Amino acid sequence: MKRTFKYPFFILIFLLLTSAGYHRFYTAIFQINYVPQKKMVQITTRIFIDDFNDALKKQYHKTTFLGTDKETQDDINLMKKYLSEKLKLIVNGKFETLNYLSKEKENNVLICYFKINDVLKLKSLEIENSILTEVYPEQQNIIQFNDNGSKSSLLLSGKTTKGMLK
């Protein structure tokens, strides 16, 4: 009788101790490319699907199923609305609307594609990115920028949601 009690007890203690050090990282990656030949800014977002659905639920008080078989057009519309509210680009001193192109799922990440047309010359690029910061204060949004081969990056978080790349 004592032996059957000891093993589950030790397994429970082991699980509690090993899970105490578990820490989840909250990170999203944004790739921004300026393509002068096309006079276009291309934006690619990479956001974990479960975090994205959590943010939509908190923001709009509605359960969404992005990246699953249950995904609806309403879910996609909320996703677009959320991204347009939380990701803002100011190109050459002027706020620009992101034109949604498409999305795809890669493992547990949702990849969204946007563009900004008619950017003849890129003189300055200011970014405001508060994606997921209302749900996860420790969220880090990594922005990688490529201007015709010249690369730079920016790290934004819940404390710092704005930055200048060029």
pLDDT tens-digit series, residues 119-149: 999 999 999 999 999 999 999 999 999 998 8
pLDDT at 11: 53
- Residue 149 has what pLDDT? 86
**Confidence (pLDDT) at 15:** 46
The C-alpha atoms of residue 158 and residue 151 are separated, in whole angstroms, by 24
Q: Which residues of the chain are modeled with pLDDT < 70?
A: 1-23
Structure tokens of 107?
């493992």
Sign, Cα dihedral of 28, 77, 67, 42: negative
Q: What is the pLDDT of residue 165?
A: 86
pTM value surpassing 0.85: no
Q: Which pLDDT value is given to residue 116?
A: 97
Structure confidence at residue 104 (pLDDT): 96
Q: What is the CA radius of gyration of the chain?
A: 20
Residue 18's pLDDT is 46
Q: Which pLDDT score is estimated for 4? A: 47
Half-sphere exposure of 24 (CA within 13 A, CB side): 8
Q: Which pLDDT value is given to residue 129?
A: 97
The whole-angstrom separation of Cα 47 and Cα 29 is: 7
